[in-house]
Structure 1
Amino acid sequence: MQNNQSIMQISENKDGSAKVLFRIRKAEMTDVDEIMAVMHEAKNDKEHPDWFVSDDEEYVRTHIEEQGFVIVAQTADGSVAGFFLIKYPENREDNLGTYLDFDEEQLSHVAVMDSAVVCCAYRGNGLQGHMLEEAERLLDTDQYYYLMCTIHPDNQFSRHNMEIHGYEVKRTALCYGGLPRCILLKDLTESGKSPAQVVKSNKQ
């Protein structure tokens, strides 16, 4: 059984001068307002408006306790610096496995690494990767072993971050009402490893 204990992550500036303490943990309902503030910042990104599709508050609340879970990166002063939302698809329309022609059995084992956002002020600290690692640690990989996500083809940073964690681009398709997206898959049945082992081997 997976435990829900949070982890602490120390990040250091490139010059080695300053350290910032982040707590990577599962989100609670009390985090919703701050999660929505982070989402609002991403939604208003004028440089790359097609890279991120925002969700409403009800969607976030549903996935905190019922149809998945949310990971947050919390600063030393307690504010939310970023979040990663994980979705357990309830129907074919929400299931990215349909883009890869998964059968019904395969679709039942898909978890969607749905959306990840880090506040502009805290980018460069590796938070997206640390939140992903914590999300994979908490996943029930006996039930969910096809991990999937979508990334805009021009978003090289996010694509690289997912690829070094074992995700592979399987195809490009139009999603979310006609937006281009790479469809990525991490097949744990193929690797024969737990998420933590895959992350470790990819970093060596």
Structure 2
Amino acid sequence: MEILRAEPSDANEIHHIMSVTSSLLEDKGWYCIDTVDYILEHIMDQDKGIVFKAVQHGRIGAFFIIHYPGGADDNLGHYVNLGPEDLRKVAYMDSLAVLPDFRGKGLQYTLMKYGEDYLTPTSFCHLMGTVHPDNLYSLNNFLRLGFGIVETTRKYGSLPRHIMYKKI
């Protein structure tokens, strides 16, 4: 399994992985699907974020989007009372999904750790994310990586979410 930076030509396949993942969930509130444009934006614009893909035998089995919210009003850094300068140092562990036949290989953890290692030498030192409280698999991966729950609230159209935070 190789972890590579996603390319524009990967956007539709990444969106397909999102759709497949969502369709298999009993509770659709666990995962929010992004648009192809959002995915492309994060592949092509280094000021918006970065997208990684896990590839085996030429096939994408999982992906991970990291989002840089900048000074946006909805920056999750407000949950930990970051000031304006530190808000620009926030990176979201934004969207990650693994195809069913690639599960059981620790790819979610591996991709999140890879993303954190990628961010460590950059100015992004406040890592944040959200996870549905009942999604124990994702929650446990955040916790294994040293994230803590800073608040439980409603996000994304009133869906319950833990707000996760880690400083690197």
Range into which the TM-score falls when normalised by the shorter chain: over 0.9
Indicate the structure (1 or 2) with the bigger Cα radius of gyration. 1
Structure 1 match to 2:162: 182
Query: Does residue 70 of the first structure (1) align with residue 65 of the second (2)?
Result: no
Of residues 12, 27, 46 in structure 1, which corresponds to 2:6? Answer: 27
Percent of matched pairs sharing the same residue: 36
The code of the aligned residue for 1:114 comes to D
Q: Which residue is 1:48 aligned to?
A: 27
- The runs of 5 or more residues in structure 2 that have no matched partner are none
Aligned to 1:172: 152
Structure 1 SS opposite 2:62 = strand
Q: Which secondary structure state, in structure 2, belongs to the residue aligned with residue 62 of structure 1?
A: helix
**CA separation in 2, counterparts of 1:107 and 1:165?**
21
Counterpart Cα distance in 2 of 1:94 and 1:116: 20
- Is contact 1:92-1:98 (8 Å) kept? no
Range with bigger deviation, 104-113 or 143-152: 104-113
Number of residue-to-residue matches in the alignment: 166
Given the two structures, how large is their TM-score scaled by the length of structure 1? 0.77
Distance 1:186 1:101 in 2: 13
The aligned residue for residue 90 of structure 2 is 110
Which of 118, 122, 129 is the equivalent residue of 1:138? 118
Please state whether the residue corresponding to 1:92 is helix, strand or coil. Answer: coil
1:180 and 1:139 map into 2 onto residues whose CA distance is 27
Q: CA–CA distance in 2 between the matches of 1:144 and 1:72? A: 20
On the 8 A contact 2:71/2:88 being kept in 1, the answer is: no
Q: CA RMSD in A?
A: 1.4
What are the Cα deviations for residues 67-101 of structure 1, in whole angstroms up to 9, with x where unaligned?
Answer: 1001111112x111011100000342341112233
Cα offset, 1:102, TM superposition: 2.1
Q: Which one-letter code corresponds to 1:50 in the other structure? A: G
**Deviation string for 1:175-204 (max 9, x for gaps)?**
11111100010112xxxxxxxxxxxxxxxx
